Amino acid sequence: MNPVMCCMKAARRLRKFVGDACWAGNYHTWRALYKAAPGVQQVSVRFRGQQVPFWVCGRTIDIELARQILCENSEYTVPIPIRPKVILDIGANIGLTTLYFALTYPDSRVYCFEPLPENLELLRRNVAILGERAVVVPEGLSDREAVLTYTYSDDPRNFGGGFTNSDSGRRTVQLHVTTLSKVCRGLGVSSVDLIKLDAEGSEYAILKGAPLGLVEEAAVVIGELHGVEDWECLKTLSQTHRVGVFKRFDRTCFPFIAIKRGTDRTGR
C-alpha cells in the first residue's frame, strides 16, 4: 500500500480515537500525554477558544479521562441548553469535569466532592484557576455518617475502586463519609441546577442521603453507574426525570442522564 495512504489511514484512526472536536488544536498534546513518563506533570489543551492548563499523573487513567472530558463532544455534554448557577460534581476525581462544567457554564459555581487523598492534591491544583467559582469538599458521601473501607482497583493505572466489605487482598483505606444533606446545610446550598454523579457504586446511597427536593428539582443529573443498586438509582430518578442510559451487556459501568420532566428541548 502507498505509504501516504497508510499514514492517512493511521491518522484517521487516531483522529477517531481522540475525537473530532479535539483533533485540530490538541493532537500533539494527546500524543505527548500517551508517551509521557509516570509522575505528576502539567499540560494544557485548547478548549472553547482558550488554553486550559491542568495536572495529571502520566501513564494513568487521568490521560484517558482528560481526552474524554475536555473536548466539545465530552461525555458530560448536556443535550439541552441550560444555564446552571449551582453545580455539584460528586466524585470529582482530579477536577477535569469541574473544569469542563465551569468553562461550559461561565456563570456557574461548582462544588466538587472527592474523598481520596491521591486525587485531592491534583483536584485542588486543577480548579485553582477558577478561584471562588470552585469549592473543593474533601468528603465522601453516602446515606449515613460512617467510616467505610474503600478498596482500590487492582489496575495500577486506575485510582478508582469502591466501598466494599471484600477481603480481596487489595489495598484499602478507611474513609469518612457523610450525607449530602449535612454537607449542603453546612455550605448553605438549598438548590442545585446540575448534578454530576459518579461515585464508584455509591450513587444510590448518595441519593438516599440527599436533602428532600434537591435532586428532584435539579434540571439535569448526569453520570455513571457501577453495578451497585443501579436500577434502584434509575427508578428513583425516573420519578421526576426522563432517564436515558447506554448499557452494554459486557460492561458493569455505564453512563446515564436524567432530565427533569417538563423541560423541553430549549431547556425551559
Question: Mind listing the pLDDT tens digit for each residue in 46-100?
Answer: 898 889 999 998 778 888 888 899 988 899 999 999 999 999 999 999 999 999 9
Q: Which of 45, 73, 101 is the last residue of a domain?
A: 73
Residue with cell 449542603: 184
pTM score:
0.84
35 in the same domain as 109? no
- 144 pLDDT band, cuts 50/70/90, is very high
Q: Which of 73, 106, 137 is the last residue of a domain?
A: 73
Asked if residues 46 and 52 have their Cβ atoms less than 8 Å apart, the reply is: yes
104 in the same domain as 53? no
- Here the CATH number for the domain that contains residue 222 is 3.40.50.150
Range of the domain at 79: 75-260
62 in the same domain as 172? no
Question: Mind listing the pLDDT tens digit for each residue in 99-125?
Answer: 999 999 999 999 999 999 889 999 999
Spell out a b/e string for 200-239, using b for 16 or more CB atoms within 10 Å of the CB, else e: bbbbbbbbbbbbeebbbebbbbbbbbbebbbeebbebbee
Residue 212 lies in a domain: yes
97 in the same domain as 193? yes
123 in the same domain as 66? no
Asked if residues 65 and 33 have their Cβ atoms less than 8 Å apart, the reply is: no
Total domains in the chain come to 2
87 in the same domain as 40? no
Cα(50)–Cα(156) distance, rounded to whole angstroms?
A: 32
